[in-house]
């Protein structure tokens, strides 16, 4: 590939990032630092010199690291079982694990509150069984609540990225190692694990970045005791309107993400290579011994319950009325009701910006569809350039830049959109196009990371054979590359779609009030006092969960391609 071709491939991705990421971010940071005294370094020095803000930075790092390790500890055994063994309900388990990821973090937090909160199902059951006046389990506003919610939210990344890649590793490589005298552990450590490292590293990075920029989970489940950089940026911006400090924190968050991305991309270049892959399911086998079946069954059942119980508790709470006034010692009255669902269509306050849930769902689906189209249009050429073995300095430099939107504060970016995109030639401040553009920024790294390993894993001799038979480069791209990455493209589209449905931070600032998305409508209801509003939020969350479940099941039935990272 000539240098001119490489440059042309990057024109569309770089133009998009320049217009809708670098320009808005530079505008809001310039405005924020301009309001402070002492120039650029003064707010940063103030942040680093403040013990409280240093504590926020330290907590952000170690809670994200611990959450990532716990997610890998749960996800890797599950990925191994999904990749190497056949059992009933595999597709259902994969779909079930994907539901939390699409839900807004506020909904995930509400699900755990409905299950383990002071008035959650577990505490209510224990209070009734033991005759207690107060909740025996203190889960909300603890570190464990944050960690468990993060694992719940992100385990599907490990299951899909590592599990799908593992399923396509040729099992004969392990068999050959065992034939040469290696034990099962030596075969895994010296053969399988090095081949898996690109997928594990990518999964760990995505999980860490999500935990590092966590907002809704920390805010609802962590409470006032805990704050990540994202929460502190929101507090400094919206609560205190201290833009210089917020900008300094956003800059530190961005620098941290850039450093992590540089480490990852360098590691990925060392350990990624074209692989000998097989059709999914070809290397899968059934568990033969009773002990193995019991052990695998217990783990898979526990994994399924881990996903089902919070979601089931949320759905059950949306159709239940808890009568606190009639509560006696050690007991509580409950009853089934559909009042919360009926009330979704009522506008008791006569709000001029009221939107029925059907409109919010349609708006979210429209934004998600536009996000998928934009993310694939921009991400495909970038992934194709990154997958080439002969990478130049431009490609190596731009690789980590594509990941930066994930580590940028959604609040800062949303404010940047409002500041920068309000005059020609990009006068989009009142346009509904602004929302899918913001969602595309967040989804683009996932699309690129989904497609790049699939393109890179195509064996060069397939392209060489096609060329020897007279195929032009365009024909090779169409008849060799495209069919092999079809499955990865489908998963990339799924990531873009689900991320758009659940995006909240930037949308809360740039969406028009008469066209709310589902997360915004849920946030409005949660923020209003009263049991009815909370019940409506749970009802709408359950509707979103149902739509997501149908979509994830449909995706599992449409899995067809041969090669993919996921």
pLDDT in tens, 439-482: 998 888 878 877 877 777 666 677 677 777 777 777 777 777 67
Q: How confident is the model at residue 561 (pLDDT cuts 50, 70, 90)?
A: very low
> What per-residue confidence (pLDDT) applies to 94?
82
User: Are the CB atoms for 226 and 62 separated by under 8 Å?
Assistant: no
User: Are the CB atoms for 378 and 444 separated by under 8 Å?
Assistant: yes
Give the integer Cα–Cα distance in Å for 401 and 261. Answer: 8
Query: Higher pLDDT residue, 483 or 363?
Result: 363
Q: What is the 3-state secondary structure (H, E, C) of 21-62?
A: HHHHHHHHHHHHHHCCCCCCHHHHHHHHHCHHHHHHHHHHHH
> What per-residue confidence (pLDDT) applies to 331?
47
Tell me the average pLDDT across 60-81: 93
> What per-residue confidence (pLDDT) applies to 372?
93
Q: How confident is the model at residue 328 (pLDDT cuts 50, 70, 90)?
A: very low
Residues 6+ apart with CB under 8 A from 150: 67, 70, 71, 210, 211, 214, 217
Q: How many CB atoms lie within 10 A of CB 143?
A: 14
Residue 268 has pLDDT above 80, yes or no: no
Q: Is the peptide bond before 358 cis (omega within 30 degrees of 0)?
A: no
Whole-model pTM: value is 0.80
Tell me the average pLDDT across 292-319: 87
Query: Higher pLDDT residue, 410 or 304?
Result: 304
Query: Higher pLDDT residue, 308 or 259?
Result: 308
Q: How confident is the model at residue 327 (pLDDT cuts 50, 70, 90)?
A: very low
Residue 514 has pLDDT above 70, yes or no: yes
Residue 461, token pair as written in the block: 């001799």
Rounded to the nearest 10°, the torsion over CA 356, 102, 212, 524 is: 10
Longest dimension (CA), the chain: 83
Residue 565, token pair as written in the block: 């990272």
Residue 566 has pLDDT above 60, yes or no: no
The separation between the first and the last C-alpha atoms of the chain, rounded to the nearest angstrom, is 27
| Superfamily covering domain 3-557 | MetI-like (1.10.3720.10)
Q: Alpha helices of 50-192 — where are they, by DSSP H?
A: 51-84, 90-102, 105-116, 121-130, 143-167, 172-179, 184-187
Least confident of 33-47, 321-335, 428-442, 523-537: 321-335
> What per-residue confidence (pLDDT) applies to 505?
74
Least confident of 187-191, 284-288, 298-302: 284-288
For residue 378, give Cα distances in angstroms to 12, 210, 435, 451, 456.
6, 22, 16, 12, 18
Give the integer Cα–Cα distance in Å for 184 and 315. Answer: 44
Tell me the average pLDDT across 323-339: 54
Domain ranges of the chain: 3-557
Residue 424, token pair as written in the block: 């020609």
> What per-residue confidence (pLDDT) applies to 349?
57
**Which residue's structure tokens are 């090779």?**
476
pLDDT digit string (tens) for 85-129? 877 778 788 888 888 887 777 788 888 888 888 888 888 888 888
Instruction: Share the mean pLDDT of the chain.
Output: 78
Q: What is the DSSP letter of 285?
A: B
Residue 195, token pair as written in the block: 């081949």
């Amino acid at each position: 590939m000539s240098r001119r071709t490489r440059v042309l491939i990057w024109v569309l991705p770089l133009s998009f990032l320049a217009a809708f990421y670098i320009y808005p971010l530079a505008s809001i940071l310039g405005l924020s630092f301009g309001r402070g005294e002492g120039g650029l370094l003064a707010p940063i020095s103030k942040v680093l010199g403040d013990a409280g803000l240093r504590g926020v930075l330290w907590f952000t790092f170690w809670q994200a690291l611990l959450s990532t390790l716990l997610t890998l500890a749960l996800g890797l055994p599950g990925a191994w079982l999904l990749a190497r063994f056949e059992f009933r309900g595999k597709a259902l388990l994969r779909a079930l694990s994907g539901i939390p990821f699409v839900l807004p973090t506020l909904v995930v937090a509400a699900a755990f509150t409905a299950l383990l909160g002071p008035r959650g199902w577990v505490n209510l059951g224990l209070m009734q069984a033991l005759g207690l006046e107060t909740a025996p389990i203190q889960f909300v506003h603890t570190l464990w609540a944050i960690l468990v919610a993060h694992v719940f939210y992100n385990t599907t990344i490990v299951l899909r990225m590592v599990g799908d890649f593992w399923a396509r590793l040729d099992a004969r490589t392990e068999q050959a190692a065992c034939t040469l005298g290696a034990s099962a552990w030596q075969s895994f450590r010296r053969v399988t694990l090095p081949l898996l490292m690109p997928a594990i590293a990518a999964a760990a990075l995505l999980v860490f970045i999500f935990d590092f920029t966590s907002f809704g989970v920390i805010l609802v489940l962590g409470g006032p005791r805990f704050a990540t950089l994202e929460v502190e940026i929101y507090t400094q911006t919206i609560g205190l309107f201290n833009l210089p400090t917020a900008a300094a924190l956003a800059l530190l968050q961005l620098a941290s993400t850039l450093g992590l991305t540089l480490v990852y991309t360098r590691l990925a270049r060392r350990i990624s290579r074209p692989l000998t892959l097989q059709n999914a399911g070809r290397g899968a086998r059934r568990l033969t011994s009773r002990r193995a079946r019991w052990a695998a069954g217990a783990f898979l059942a526990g994994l399924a319950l881990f996903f089902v119980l919070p979601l089931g508790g949320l759905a059950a709470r949306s159709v239940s009325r808890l009568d606190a006034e009639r509560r006696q010692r050690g007991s509580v009255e409950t009853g089934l009701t559909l009042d919360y669902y009926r009330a979704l269509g009522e506008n008791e306050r006569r709000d001029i910006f009221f939107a029925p849930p059907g409109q919010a769902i349609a708006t979210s689906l429209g934004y998600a569809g536009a996000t998928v189209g934009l993310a694939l249009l921009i991400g495909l050429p970038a992934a194709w350039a990154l997958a080439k073995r002969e990478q130049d300095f431009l490609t190596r430099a731009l690789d980590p830049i594509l990941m930066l939107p994930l580590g940028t504060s959604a609040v800062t970016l949303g404010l940047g959109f409002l500041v920068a995109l309000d005059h020609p030639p990009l006068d989009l401040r009142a346009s509904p196009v602004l929302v899918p553009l913001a969602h595309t920024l967040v989804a683009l790294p996932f699309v690129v990371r989904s497609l790049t390993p699939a393109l890179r894993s195509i064996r060069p001799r397939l392209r060489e054979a096609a060329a020897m038979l007279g195929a032009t480069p365009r024909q090779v791209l169409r008849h060799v590359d495209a069919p092999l990455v079809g499955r990865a493209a489908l998963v990339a589209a799924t990531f873009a779609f689900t991320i758009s449905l659940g995006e909240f931070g930037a949308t809360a600032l740039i969406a028009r009030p008469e066209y709310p998305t589902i997360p915004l409508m849920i946030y409005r209801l949660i923020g209003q006092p009263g049991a009815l509003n909370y019940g409506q939020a749970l009802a709408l969350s359950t509707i979103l969960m149902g739509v997501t479940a149908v979509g994830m099941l449909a995706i599992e039935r449409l899995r067809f391609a041969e090669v993919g990272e996921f």
